[in-house]
Amino acid sequence: MAKITFHGNPVNTSGSLPGPGSKAPDFTLVKSDLDSLRLSDLRGEKLILNIFPSLDTPVCANSVRKFNELAAEKPGVRVLAISKDLPFAHGRFCSTEGINNVLTLSGFRDTDFGKSYGIGIEDGPLAGLYARSIVVIDENGVVKYNELVPEIVQEPDYDAALNAL
């Protein structure tokens, strides 16, 4: 269990992120078109998992915008924006914001992703959502970098994530 904060108040997560050098746990999440996508479907691709509580917050929305911009500069890298927001909200956000370099995925049907990645928020006002975190996975499915942002309302370290590729 990791400890983070939300506006300075302690919050616990369901575990710890998979560490660098470990095999990224497979998952099945829901795309904007309501089809399922497994991590194993993306084998052979370099991935950045941008995990966050909800697109309805400024910091989360900004992280998706920022990774959309950065991904356009990195050919061969796919960014997955993952939250428990409904796929309809993901689609609306991307359409409104002109987001086209990010694949949004929803954990609304899934109960294992938050546990297997250790980012399920266990208590506090955001209990049940995902903690803000980044996981970089290479084309062989191996974790190259992770970051559990210590304060939920802070942005992740974009440069460190990109430098891990």
The residues that are catalytic are 60
Q: Would you call 163 exposed, middle or buried from its count of C-beta atoms within 10 A (0-12, 13-18, 19+)?
A: exposed
For the chain, what's the residue count? Answer: 165
* Tokens, residue 161: 């994530």
Task: Tell me how far CA of residue 14 lies from CA of 4, 89, 116, 131, in angstroms.
Answer: 11, 25, 9, 10
Phi–psi pair at 149, nearest 5 degrees: -65, 125
Nearest-10 crossing angle of helices 58-72, 87-97: 60
